[in-house]
Amino acid sequence: MDKILIPVLIVAGIGLLAGIILAVASAIMAVPKDEKAEAILEVLPGANCGACGFSGCSGYAAALSKGEAQPGLCSPGGEACAKACAELLGTGDVAVEKKTALVHCMGNYDCTSDKMRYDGIDSCAASTLLAGGISSCRYGCMGMGDCAAVCEYGAINVCNGMASIDPAKCRGCAKCTAACPKGLISFVPLKKQAVVRCSNCDKGAETMKVCKVGCIGCGKCMKACEVGAVKVTNFCAKVDPAKCIGCGKCAEVCPRHVITMLDA
Partner 1 sequence: MSLKFLVGIFLAAILTENYILNKFLGICPFLGVSKKLNTAFGMSCAVTVVMVIATAVTWPVYTYVLVPLNLDYLQTVVFILIIAALVQLLETVMHKYMPPLYNALGIYLPLITTNCAVLGVTMLVLEKGAENPSFGYLASLVNAFGAGIGFMVAMVIFAGVRERLELCDVPNFLKGLPITLIAASLVAVSFLGFNGIIDRLLA
Task: Give the helix ranges, DSSP H, for the chain.
Answer: 2-28, 35-43, 56-65, 78-89, 124-128, 146-150, 175-179, 204-210, 220-224, 249-253
- Which residues in 27-46 contact partner 1 (CB under 8 A)? 29-31
- Supply the minimum distance, in Å, between the C-beta of residue 55 and partner 1: 11
- Supply the minimum distance, in Å, between the C-beta of residue 21 and partner 1: 7
- Closest to 258 measured CA to CA, from 216, 219, 214: 214
Mark the segment that binds partner 1 (CB under 8 A) among 14-22, 89-97, 150-158, 198-206: 14-22
173: annotated binding-site residue?
A: yes
- Which residues in 113-132 contact partner 1 (CB under 8 A)? none
Applying CB under 8 A, does 228 fall inside the site for partner 1?
A: no
Separation between Cα atoms, residue 170 and residue 162, nearest integer Å: 17
Nearer to partner 1, 24 or 116 (CB): 24
Nearer to partner 1, 48 or 70 (CB): 48
Separation between Cα atoms, residue 56 and residue 47, nearest integer Å: 8
Binding residues for partner 1, rule CB under 8 A, total 15
141: annotated binding-site residue?
A: yes
- Identity of the residue numbered 74: C
Separation between Cα atoms, residue 143 and residue 123, nearest integer Å: 9
221: annotated binding-site residue?
A: no
For residue 194, the surrounding DSSP H or E stretch is: strand 193-196
- Supply the minimum distance, in Å, between the C-beta of residue 148 and partner 1: 22
- Which residues in 150-169 contact partner 1 (CB under 8 A)? none
Separation between Cα atoms, residue 231 and residue 239, nearest integer Å: 7
Neighbours of 151 (CB within 10 A): 22
Binding-site residues from annotation for [4Fe-4S] cluster:
49, 52, 57, 74, 137, 141, 147, 151, 170, 173, 176, 180
- What is the binding site for partner 1 (CB under 8 A)? 6-7, 10-11, 14-15, 18-19, 21-22, 25-26, 29-31
